[in-house]
Structure 1
Amino acid sequence: MVDGHTPWDQELASNWEPPQIDTSVPHPNRMFNYLIGGKDHFKADRDAAEALIKARPDTVITARAAEAFTRRAVRKLAEHGIRQFLQMGAAITIANSNDQAAGESAPDTRTFVYVADDPISLAHARALLVGRPGPPVTVIGGNFREPQDILSRPGLIGKLDFDQPVGLLLFGMLDYIASDRRARRALDYLMQRVAPDSMAALFHVVEVESEEVNNALDKTLAQDQIELTPRTAQHVHELVDGYEFIDPGLVPITNWHPDGTGPGPELAERTAAIGGVIIKR
């Protein structure tokens, strides 16, 4: 047992092999941490991030806008009465973490569960996020692309009450699933499992018409494992078609309830991500 959790290899779904623990291979979670000024990254992550910055300097703006968006989204869910959260995706922000944002907005937050697909990020998150003052935090390892496997884990029993509203935080999830069908299936499964009045905050990286950026992505990221899949804004809208978004809808993340934190609407055209919050009636 580690911090009340079973070891990584005992938590994995039987039909999924985790990424190798190889610090020479960059991972988007650690790259994101570097881009927002965090400390939990390795040379490969820094080199990959710098390659992206060289190809598109606005990469830093997008990362900082995404971090600010996640804080605003968590606070908005808390304002709507959400008191339990499940975050699935490649973007676990260890610096200025979302569980802290939830606890600051709603001190009576009952639980916050993170899912990490990268063993190194998992270890960092457990070491830094579990057991601190604030909402009780659980960090489990597994493939966020297959949420039916995650939600069946014994480690989640008693952590989340699916008869009560849940705040789903899908940050770096849909855009890290290459197949449209698989991405929609994952979203549908999660939304079907949660109770009415649950909410799902998400953002999705959008395509940039730049061969240099695309080449940098292909060279620096292990695409066969990571599956980073930027889509056009129209494509993302089609991917989530049929779901109800709260105001202002699915928009550039800089334009979603701006509050002066992070890049604002004036940088919308330089921010390659859109986001919003779905509500289940």
Structure 2
Amino acid sequence: MLFYRAALPLSQATLVFVSGLVRGHRRAVGSPWRALSASEQALLVLVYLRKGEPFAEVAAGFGVSATTCWRYVHETVEILAPRAPKLHTALREARRRRLAYVIIDGTLIATDRIAVDRPFYSGKHRHHGVNLQVIATPDGDILWISGDLPGSTHDTAAARIWQILPALARAGLIALADKGYQGLDEAGNHVITPYKGKGKPDSQKAANRAHAQLRAPGERANAQLKNWRILRKLRCCPYRAGRIAKAIHALLNYELTATAG
């Protein structure tokens, strides 16, 4: 096996942040000695999440076994995931910031599941995966990420499962969504979708164009998420996708805070 040095497009502050969490967790569970230091474990996890390389390759680079690598990643993801904002907290923050609206969008996290796992097969994307719901600001910063659902779940069904409409109503917010969410809010008080069908009058066509222009910047949130290559194709259990995405969201939030400071 060949080895090489590589850069990671993350700040030193993020490494220090994750190292501190790992160090605190080790003290809490009474595990002072490990094959890697807290800082090395944090770097290993950041490499795995950002680069998306298989456990065996990441493990070899850090001089540990693939099993140890998996354990370090699983442990650190479970430390980070609870730090991602809950839905009501995220919408309350959006209201505090006086955002004119938020963006709802679903994304499929591809997995290497085989055809027998029918619930994970998305007919829309023609691929096995899991459905994640993402709420973002108008300019594309992620506010909230849902847990995972099988890839066959329609976006409207996923939004109902996660109770997104009642949460928007409580926060008094409006969300823009694509045609996949039509029927979620029949009254259109809190979720606004484009007009559907052929032969629409000019007024509806103009409304759809304006809707698309407003929604487009917010949809970069999913692109931000998948800059972390682990979410381009998940090789672990599909039901880990939500926890991994939430851990990444916590890291993104910290990166924004660190660079802003």
- State the TM-score, normalized to the length of structure 1: 0.26
Select the structure that is richer in helix: 2
TM-score calculated relative to the size of structure 2? 0.28
Of structures 1 and 2, the larger Rg is shown by 2
